[in-house]
Amino acid sequence: MKKYDFIIIAAVLAIAGILFFFLYGTPAHNGKFVTVKIDGAITQTLPLAENRTLEIETAQGNNTLEIKDGYARIIAADCPDKICCHHAPVRRNGESIICLPHRLIISISSTEDNEIDARI
Amino acid sequence: MNHQNHQNKIAKKTALYGMLIALAFTFSYLESLLPFHFGIPGVKLGLANLVVLIGLYTLSPKAVFPIAMLRILLAGLTFGNTFSLLYSLAGGILSFIVMLLMQKTKLSIIGVSMLGGIAHNIGQVIVAAVVLKTVRIAYYLPVLLIAGMITGFLLGVAAKLITQRIHQLNNKDTSL
């Protein structure tokens, strides 16, 4: 390993650390709404405060969304890798759970209209 | 070099490149068997990249690029769906370009591999962001950066060992 390799490692860690801070370190605002987005289009917006279990049908398959105690998570899906199911429950503004094979995004927002959320 | 030698050389190269594509393809298959998930879409070992990496240090880039692309196409068509192919291509092309450029700098093969791994993940993230029409996927960037770096490091170490052996062999066999 040469010197520049270590520089790269340090740089990557620094960048990742900075990104991490901006994305997760600033004060958490618990969101109000859960937005369901399929293929880039918002199909439903649900209040985070109301517990419910919801079957979501996409052209590629189904996911089961559960909103409970202020958290949203996916408890079941028929996609091949089930990454969405293993994802930690979300509740902060801007957090999301993505099922890539189904082109589905579950995201948390504080307003009903959801897409423009960059803080930077 | 007479005509017969020339033909032999071409035959040798054809066989070698074919073997490398098959090897990378097999690595892809192996990876698809391992449940290597960190709960984030796109984190994987990138084992097939080992072939590309070693290729960059032992063959000409003009040869390695088609090998890499063909492998991605074959593996994508065999094991994946339309979109996984798109992600693989984006990641593969970006990581190839980055590795090709970084090879010329003072980084060791391990450093090149780390940047290649990171570039691969970033390429996939960009495509995912376009396909899903969202910027939110950027939330995964810190993890993907670190993951790309770690897998790149591991592959780089393996590639270094193998490349050293190949160069030793090359010094004995001048017809390659």
Q: Is A85 on the interface with B (CB under 8 A)?
A: no
Q: Are B59 and B109 in contact (CB under 8 A)?
A: no
Please list the alpha-helical segments (H only) found in B1-140.
Answer: 3-33, 49-58, 61-79, 82-103, 109-132
Dihedral of CA B110/B112/B113/B114: which sign?
positive
pLDDT digits (tens, 9 = 90+) for B129-151: 887 777 777 778 888 888 889 88
Q: Provide ipTM, 2 decimals.
A: 0.71
Beta bridge partners of A35: A45, A107
Chain B contacts in chain A segment 41-80 (CB below 8 A): none
Nearest to A95 among B118, B131, B139 (CB): B139
Residue of A nearest to B119 (CA): A12
Q: Is A17 on the interface with B (CB under 8 A)?
A: yes
CB atoms inside a 10 Å sphere around CB B158: 17
Q: How many CB pairs under 8 A join A and B?
A: 95
Looking at the whole model, is its pTM more than 0.80?
no
pLDDT of chain A along its 120 residues, tens only? 678 888 888 998 999 888 888 877 766 677 888 889 888 888 888 888 888 898 999 888 899 998 888 888 899 888 887 888 888 888 888 788 888 888 899 888 887 654 444 444
